A and B are shown apart, each in its own frame.
Chain A
Amino acid sequence: MEADLTLLVNGQQHILRLDPETPLLYVLRNNLGLNGPKFGCGLQQCGACMVLLDHIAWPSCQLPVRQTTGGVAITTLEGLTRPDGTLHPVQAAFVQEQAAQCGFCLNGMIISAVSLLKQYPQPSEEAIRNGLFRVLCRCSVHTRAIRAVQRAAASG
């Protein structure tokens, strides 16, 4: 059942022996010890588990890890922070706007926003709403999150 798989995560190559059907989320959290992607539903309905796959935001909770080998660049929230420790502009904007309460949804919001801004560097409010559509936030910091994405767009 288990196989050796090669993953490219946050710029680093990892060779892992595991069940290729394992959803990527569990590999990132449990095999690689990353905290960015979170378990929220396992149903691709809440966006807590978002990662970037070659710059596209995608939920990792149902994605078999075998589909993310072969040089796909996987980026998690950790991977956005610059090597010198400075924050990515989107991370910084969420801090500056204090756009969090419990923060459990922040991963999905930030990953989705990075993907959105890559495609549309100056998104309208409507485009931001669409870009973050897959992410649920129960504390309901949406107004702040929209402002944070606008701030990041203005700074980038």
Chain B
Amino acid sequence: MPQPVTSRRNFLKTTGCLTIGFVLLSSSELLADAPKADKLPGSLQDNPRINAWLELLPNGRARVLTGKIEIGQGIRTAVAQVAAEELNLPVEAVEVTIAETGRTPDERYTAGSASIEQSAMAIRHAAAAARQKLLELAAPVLRLKVSQLRLEPGAVVASSGRRVSVEQLLGGRQLTEEVRQPAPLKPKSQYQHVGRSVPRQDIEHMVRAEPYYVQDLRFPGMVHARVLRPPSYEARLLQFDADALRRAVPGVLQTVVDGSFVGIVAEQEYQALRAQDYGRLHTQWSAGRPLPIDKPLPELLRSLPGTVKDVASKGDFTKAPAAGALTHQASYFKPYLMHGSIGPSCAVALFEPGAQALHVWTHSQGVYPLRESLAKLLNLRSDNVHVKGVPGSGCYGHNGADDVAADAALLARAVPGRHVRLQWSRDDEHAWEPYGSAMAFDLQARVNPNTGRITHWQHELWSDTHSTRPAGSPEKLLAAQYLAQPQLPKVEDDFSGGIHRNAEPYYQFPALQVRAHAVQGPLRVSALRALGAFGNIFALESFMEELAVLARQDPYEFRLRHLTDERAKAVIRRVREMVKGQKIAENEGLGLAFARYKNTAAYCAVVAKVSVDPGTGFVRVPRIWAAIDAGEVINPDGLKNQTEGGLTQAASWTLNEEVLFNAQGITTRQWEQYPIFRFDEVPLVEVAVLDRPTEPPLGAGEAAQGPTAAALANAVFHACGKRVRHLPIRPEKLVG
């Protein structure tokens, strides 16, 4: 019994998600008497039955059920490849059903780059077990040994050609056996699909404009809703005149005012939009407590009360530095960043009054936790709440998806029997999404100039949590905090939210101190791609470069010297090869950075090339290269696509982005005020994948974020001699 609990806790640590009210299923007995090495992989531990993951359909097809949602990471294709491989099917013969309560396994959140490690590995083992079971069922029928049989699409076949169909073997049932270790996995040398760049089928549906997104759902009689949010976090409703609104705007069916939560439902979308515009102009709110603006944000973070955790501590810092030792210290800062989904959050909800049942269609990353949260928010039985995952616009973490689902559910209750579609506005998303936390860092180190080695390293950081997912409780849903009987989130101080992710260097230093301060900053925050790793790696790898420069060391060799893991060294050497022969003109520079994401997931080394205009300080990024090792790769092009996107997105974060506020609230409320990279600014990116087919697959979707930031800062330094330690790297920081 203690074993699964421990593993669950470790899982929480590495994903940075909070799971409240989690119940272990029957897997506990299975694990209790199994030797540790034979632990079931991925999410199988919680759902060990084959049919939880896999259904065999007539005509030689199969359906895979994943508790993860498609968010553009290509999970559908990856799990189809894995299942097709073990079942000897063409990839096209595998359908994929994504996260839906009551239908797919409960895999909590699609987060932490863990879809392959958790879901695809569960599906691989379930499919292998299914193949074995089908052979065992066929053996007596064909009067042959299992070893004389093989599974082909739709049938088990003997070498003589005699066959029995899967349909016949199953007689309409599904395989409900539990997967046991060791699962009869196909030898990797026989792989046909895994490790190949199988194209994603869904891209063709997208270019044909077939209905695909939650935004595209249409139901008979569906109505349209909008919400009116206060001008700032703590403003409260003073006056909203529903009658005046109805007189001014046609088509308004219902208005909902509960405390300071205000929603409007209209027959048509344009009417809902006009009602929202009218409401924004004519609704009165209290001013609320002002946001703190008297101190610069880095200073503010350092001054807030918080909890301290010593993340790592070894070696002796009490002695004064050795004579001749080089010492250095520097402070860094990373601002609040937006997820910035291109499609603002959207949800559809239907309330059935008779059954007291709620249906929600959502692009949330966690349908099961959302079900629990909504049930508590609306006082419904959780099995009366049905939540179906439908792809939305890319989210890169916890954006407004869960919040808009709660808004829609609250409004659906007011127009029972009708599907309510709630589309957040751009302003709703920009001003109310939970941002990636601001962070401040102080680093110090000593270098022995004779050996070129770092002897002492200290990293201290201040940050808000990086995860406030609803996780089954209602109070982290935005609307809950504004109801007449508000539910307010408790302050978290348990460091489970990714604050010190990658604060500990992957390099070997004799003396090391890493200390994290968990504080509560002024803005609403939650998980943004890479969580604390983005800021920590930016600081760590910028500082590494500063030390290399100080000790007059080659940046590649300096890093290699402090690494012991050959796979880490291999990505650095590979990216060095990729940029060999690059000509560096005046005002241009190359910058390197490396990290192993979470220190347990994918390895990634990045080199950026920049040019800095000496007159204006304007930074151009013509190219970025990356080498990545994510262990066994299911779909190399999928991994490349994710990494390319990570490089460009992180470059935009690093050079352009910063959520701004004044005392009255958020001021970056449109793209013009929060300018992400456009086509004229984006680099051309190139990714090399180091495939390790015999190693376990490693989460990779977030691996490029941190290294990209530091590679850019380092490149800017080499281009113009200016070290920018406060993101974003804006032109004004490079002139004068």
Contact = CB atoms under 8 A, between A and B. Distances in A.
Interface of A: 1, 19, 22-23, 26, 29-30, 33-36, 38-43, 45-46, 48, 76-78, 81, 87, 91-92, 94-95, 98-107, 110, 128-130, 132-133, 135-146
A46 B671 contact: yes
Given A35-B212, A139-B72, A133 B342 contact: no
Given A39-B344, A143-B684, A106 B206 contact: yes
Chain A binding surface, main DSSP class:
loop
Contact of B213 (A46, A100, A104, A136): A104
A98 B197 CA distance: 10
Contacts of B492: none
A106 B200 CA distance: 15
B679 A139 contact: no
A144 B644 contact: yes
B364 interface: no
Contact of B671 (A43, A133, A141): A43
Contacts of B396: 138
A145 B682 CA distance: 11
A140 B343 contact: no
A136 B270 contact: no
B306 interface: no
A26 B270 contact: yes
Contacts of A105: 342
Given A36-B209, A38-B343, A140-B682, 5 more contacts: A26-B269, A38-B215, A110-B207, A142-B677, A144-B641
A71 B211 CA distance: 27
Contacts of A19: 270
A78 B211 CA distance: 11
A94 B394 contact: no
B71 A95 contact: no
Interface string B682-695: 11111000000000
Contacts of B200: 98, 100
Nearest to B213: A104
B269 A30 contact: yes
A40 B680 CA distance: 20
A39 B670 CA distance: 14
Given A45-B670, A94-B207, A136-B671, A103 B343 contact: no
Interface string B612-648: 0000000000000000000000000100011011111
Contacts of B646: 140
Contacts of A43: 426, 670-672
**Most chain B C-beta atoms within 10 Å of own C-beta, residue among A22, A29, A100:** A100
Contact of B648 (A29, A40, A140): A140
A29 B686 CA distance: 37
Nearest to B363: A102
B396 to A, nearest CB: 7
A22 B271 CA distance: 9
Contacts of B642: 101
A136 B672 CA distance: 12
B528 to A, nearest CB: 12
B680 A95 contact: no
A55 to B, nearest CB: 18
B207 A87 contact: yes
Contact of B204 (A22, A77, A95): A95
Contact of B680 (A42, A76, A92, A133): A133
B645 A101 contact: yes
B668 interface: no
A105 B679 CA distance: 12
Contact of A98 (B216, B250, B641): B641
Nearest to B395: A102
27 contacts: A29-B269, A30-B269, A35-B209, A35-B213, A40-B342, A41-B426, A43-B672, A76-B209, A78-B208, A91-B207, A91-B208, A98-B203, A98-B637, A100-B72, A100-B207, A101-B74, A102-B393, A104-B392, A128-B679, A130-B679, A136-B676, A138-B649, A139-B72, A140-B647, A141-B644, A142-B682, A143-B684
Nearest to B644: A143
B425 interface: yes
A73 to B, nearest CB: 17
B678 interface: yes
Contacts of A143: 644, 648, 682-686
Contacts of B677: 140, 142
A88 B493 CA distance: 54
A42 B426 contact: yes
Contacts of B71: 102
Contacts of B202: 103
Contacts of B637: 98
Contacts of B365: none
B391 interface: yes
Contact of B645 (A35, A48, A76, A139): A139
B174 interface: no
A82 B343 CA distance: 27
A85 to B, nearest CB: 9
A24 to B, nearest CB: 11
A140 B645 contact: yes
B72 A95 contact: no
A105 to B, nearest CB: 5
**Most chain B C-beta atoms within 10 Å of own C-beta, residue among A40, A105, A143:** A143
Interface in B190-246: 199-200, 202-204, 206-213, 215-216, 218
B337 to A, nearest CB: 12
B14 interface: no
B340 interface: yes
B73 interface: yes
Contact of B268 (A1, A30, A40, A110): A30
Nearest to A132: B679
